[in-house]
Structure 1
Amino acid sequence: MWTEPTKTGKVKFVEQFKNPLTLKYTRVSITMDKETNTTRKLAQQTLNKRIEEKLRHLADGQIKEGVTFGELIEEFDQYYKRTVKPSTFASWKVFKACVLKNFNSDVLVSKITNKYLTNTLEAMIYQRGYNNAYVGAIKSKINQIMRYAYRHDYIAAPIGQLEINWKRNNSAKSIEDKYLDDEEVKQVLEAVRSVNPMYADVLLWQYLTGMRIGEVLALQAKKIFQEDGKWFVKIDCTLEYSKRQKSEFTISSTPKTQSSNRTILLPDEAVRIYRLYSLGKQPDDLLFSIQTKTGVFIHPLSIDNRLKIVQEILELDKPLSTHIFRHTHASKLAELGVPIELISKRLGHKDSAITRQIYLHVTKKTAERYSGLINSLDV
């Protein structure tokens, strides 16, 4: 390391390292107020760390040793923030806190095995009281983080399928709690409609299309169109509302994820709702909106709060939220025999463990029902 003077009278500490891809030297530097033993030592430590970080990101195909799981999480955090919507990143921050609480941050990434990850996830279930659904969501994030680690040469091979020994005592019920049956849909919608008809139609739209609540509340009239006698909705944006005042809500120019960008067929009942709410509106107007002092957007939490009240009134065991209508749409498609790949595409999912669980559970129940009908055949 050496020093160079600056025009302002401060001191620039400089170090260099060889790029393993180009074999050329690259400079890194840091400026301090003056040169003392303390600032020189601090500068050397800072520059060494910068060089270490830069070398990590050079794709030379060599496994980068010495990276801890905690460092990987922080690096993934910055990457994830740049690549997802603010609402998605806000959800990740909650998961991140849980991951850091339950996984050892000092473990070297290059030493992480399937067994270590599986044991830690199962400990969350059986020793720390987390439910299957939440640990399943953490497992999904761990898979995502380890894929990032593999792409950046922190591990030599992708992490394989994590076979978790889930709690079995109420697994079927926990899956059924994620969607509503026909009678429950009817009861909930009637209860909501008696207080707020527009909220009921928003939820009915979710039930008919499987759209996310942010996608529904950002839906403009012009996004519904007719082609060859059929009606479609183009989904290419979402409502940004997480941790914001209603007056600060915005419509993003892109959907939640790349796979969320889609165009889906509308059933007749959805077309009826569209015709009702598009009357007198301009193409850019929101399909579902309420004019208030803070703007025209409907707050998703207002609908969720109404659903919580309805849940208490109807004495339902299932936790009600807007998202349950999206899951219910998936369950109805599974019941109709629609392949899981097409359901995921319609929902705008690249992959979803919950959708797959619902699909397998519903198709199994349907098969059992048909089996009973076949057994009743007689002459």
Structure 2
Amino acid sequence: MLRIEPLSNGRVKLVKDYKDPLTGGRKRLSKTVNKATRQVQKQVELLLDQRFEREVELSTLNNPHKTLGELIDEWLVIRKERLKPSTYRSQITAVRQVRSGIGNNALLIQLNRQFLVRYLDDQLYKYGKLNSNVKKQFMVLNLMLKYAVQVGYLNDNPAPDYGSISWKKEHKTERQTYPKFLDSDELDRLLTYLRSKDPFIADFCELLYLTGMRFGEAASLQPKNFYTVDNHTYAKIIGTLDYSRINRQKATKSDTPKTEASFRSIRLSSRALEICNKYRVDKRNAEYLFLRHGYPLSATLVDYHLSKAEKELKIKKRVSTHTFRHTHISKLAELGVPLYVIQDRVGHADEKITKEIYLHVTNKSREQAEDKIELL
């Protein structure tokens, strides 16, 4: 409750005592005013309450003067230690944009949801950036600020909710409306083209299609990763290739694959085994199966060949190494393989794109079956 203390100059001091939650002691806050009307007293009491709450908040923080730039530098060191190099690199661009857009000197305690919503909206509409770009900024901002709460630089995470951002309504191009996998004719033409240009690249891409492996999983296959049980040969996926697009000579195999669900053994078909055996010959002591000029295969090189093939064959879909993985999923769905079996084979615990492909293929099969009813 406010106390009124008259001053010798005719003004009055409005005083309120608080209990410090950290020390248990008393804390006195005051404000001097000309007149202590009822309305003024209400306004001053509200002001003093807010000031006390702010002081308590600051007193609980490890470093109330921590800047965004300092947080980013600290967070990146930890991320680099915990993430695979490829994942770390994918976040760096978004972090740089956040650093540039908000500023190194911004105090963490001054960041609030309203400011961050306005910042992200500006990125979308003022600077014309795509949803995909701003979503990456949104993600790293949330992760960094969550870390700031964990280490005591903030009491609450000021990152806005996903739904509070005015995301653009982006219309898909004609190319984007096409399925993310190849039909049988496209697959045959593509592999034939690659075989005429570079049989090694063709074999590698065919293996991606036959097994549903990610590029890094197949590129990091080693002779010791194969085993046979009951006359069936399996490829054991226990890691992925961490490589630099600038210098593939520095490529190394990680101790773990992309996700926990990615640990798996893939049964090889006779053709997949034929391809693997072709490159396993005399490589029992080699580090990797698929080497080009003595170094691990580069995704950039394979995508270069695929881009050329896409244009020359006039394939309307965007073709990359990942397209073969999606095509593998689509073919299994056509064969009636249950979704959970497909997810287990390709190492997806709960992947949206796998479900999208599966539903697309099964719905198409259902439509074709219903059309044939007319023939009864």
Q: TM-score range by the shorter chain?
A: 0.5 to 0.7
**TM-score, scaled relative to structure 2:** 0.66
Corresponding residue for residue 356 of structure 1? 352
Corresponding residue for residue 193 of structure 2? 191
Corresponding residue for residue 25 of structure 1? none
Corresponding residue for residue 234 of structure 2? 232
Residues 346, 95 of structure 1: CA spacing in aligned structure 2 closer, same or farther, 3 A cutoff? farther
Residues 265, 237 of structure 1: CA spacing in aligned structure 2 closer, same or farther, 3 A cutoff? closer
In structure 2, C-alpha distance between the alignment counterparts of 1:217 and 1:190, rounded to whole Å: 21
1:164-203 deviation digits (Å, cap 9, x = unpaired)? 6452421795374754344333222221111111101111
1:158-197 to 2 correspondences below 5 Å: 162-163=162-163, 165-170=167-172, 174=176, 176=178, 178-197=180-199
Q: Secondary structure at the match of 1:215?
A: helix
Counterpart AA for 2:217: E
In structure 2, C-alpha distance between the alignment counterparts of 1:133 and 1:334, rounded to whole Å: 29
Q: Find out whether 1:130 has 2:129 as its counterpart.
A: yes
Asked if 1 retains the 8 angstrom alpha-carbon contact of 2:61 and 2:155, the reply is no
Asked if 2 retains the 8 angstrom alpha-carbon contact of 1:118 and 1:162, the reply is no
1:134-145 to 2 correspondences below 5 Å: 134-145=133-144
Residues 296, 74 of structure 1: CA spacing in aligned structure 2 closer, same or farther, 3 A cutoff? closer
Once the two structures are TM-superposed, the CA of residue 333 in structure 1 deviates from its matched residue by 5.2
- Superposed CA RMSD: 4.0
Once the two structures are TM-superposed, the CA of residue 297 in structure 1 deviates from its matched residue by 3.0
Once the two structures are TM-superposed, the CA of residue 158 in structure 1 deviates from its matched residue by 9.4
Once the two structures are TM-superposed, the CA of residue 220 in structure 1 deviates from its matched residue by 0.9
In structure 2, C-alpha distance between the alignment counterparts of 1:168 and 1:340, rounded to whole Å: 32
Q: Find out whether 1:324 has 2:320 as its counterpart.
A: no
Highest Rg: 1 or 2?
2
Counterpart AA for 2:95: K
Once the two structures are TM-superposed, the CA of residue 230 in structure 1 deviates from its matched residue by 3.5
Equivalent pairs: percent with the same residue? 27
Residues 174, 131 of structure 1: CA spacing in aligned structure 2 closer, same or farther, 3 A cutoff? farther
Corresponding residue for residue 264 of structure 1? 265
1:191-340 to 2 correspondences below 5 Å: 191-246=193-248, 248-255=249-256, 257=258, 259=260, 262-268=263-269, 269-282=271-284, 284-290=286-292, 292=293, 295-332=294-331, 338-339=338-339
Once the two structures are TM-superposed, the CA of residue 346 in structure 1 deviates from its matched residue by 4.7
Residues 225, 72 of structure 1: CA spacing in aligned structure 2 closer, same or farther, 3 A cutoff? same
Unaligned runs of 5+ in 1: 1-19, 21-55
Corresponding residue for residue 370 of structure 1? 366
Q: Find out whether 1:156 has 2:156 as its counterpart.
A: yes
In structure 2, C-alpha distance between the alignment counterparts of 1:127 and 1:361, rounded to whole Å: 35
Residues 260, 78 of structure 1: CA spacing in aligned structure 2 closer, same or farther, 3 A cutoff? farther
Unaligned runs of 5+ in 2: 1-21, 23-57
Residues 245, 64 of structure 1: CA spacing in aligned structure 2 closer, same or farther, 3 A cutoff? closer
1:322-378 deviation digits (Å, cap 9, x = unpaired)? 2333344455556656447962x6545677xxx514633651563365256447645
Residues 371, 300 of structure 1: CA spacing in aligned structure 2 closer, same or farther, 3 A cutoff? closer
Counterpart AA for 2:187: V
In structure 2, C-alpha distance between the alignment counterparts of 1:276 and 1:307, rounded to whole Å: 22
Counterpart AA for 2:97: C
Asked if 1 retains the 8 angstrom alpha-carbon contact of 2:181 and 2:324, the reply is yes
In structure 1, C-alpha distance between the alignment counterparts of 2:100 and 2:250, rounded to whole Å: 32
